[in-house]
Each structure stands twice: as structure tokens, then as C-alpha cells.
Amino acid sequence: MRFTGYSFGSIRVDGVTYDHDLIIDRGKIRKRKKAASRKFRGAYEDIPWRCRRLVIGSGADGALPVMKQVRKEARRREVDLVVLPTAEAIGVLTGTTKHTNAILHLTC
């Protein structure tokens, strides 16, 4: 997977530009559905747990909160949880995506 651009509200992956938050689940990209998590500001959604490492891009300023329950669930599932501002998260994903899923928040 090639990340060639990120700016507030936009990301380019494998030559395709997206203007919405993304979930990368075992190499497949899909839109993050915010409706399910709006009440908890991003904490509960269809989290792609089938991985060894889950990278969460917490927005341009790192403002997306990750609730304690999500961190606890990651420990229970023995998933390495990495939470970074989105630009830094993309850097981690550029290094390796094998066995790694991601949630990328493009704003905040």
C-alpha cells in the first residue's frame, strides 16, 4: 500500500484520493462509518481487530480520543495498539502493513 499524500481532510492511497476517514482491514480500504461512533466520538465502531497491530491515526492534531475500553480490548486480544496523529500513523504504515490494520481520521 502506497501513501503519497495527506493533508487535512484528504489522503491519497495507491493513486486514489479519499476525502473521508478510512479503515484499512487486511489490505482492503473502506470508509469509516462515523454514525455508529458519533455518541462516543470515535470510540466504538467496526474496529478491524483481525491483525497483530492496529494503527489509529488520531487526526491532524491528534484530537480523536481512544477510550480506555478500546485499549483494554486491544490488550485482551494481544493486538499492539499504536495511536498517533494521522501524519505519523501514515509513516508507520509506510514502513510495513503486513499484519497491520488501521483507522485513519483525516481531520481534527
**Tens digit of pLDDT for each residue in 22-43?**
999 999 999 987 654 555 544 4
39-48 pLDDT, tens per residue?
Answer: 554 444 589 9
Q: How far apart are CA 103 and CA 59, in angstroms?
A: 10
- The pTM of the full predicted model, rounded to 2 decimals, is 0.87
How far is 30 from 14, CA to CA, in rounded Å?
Answer: 13
Question: How far, in Å, CA of 107 to CA of 57, rounded?
Answer: 10
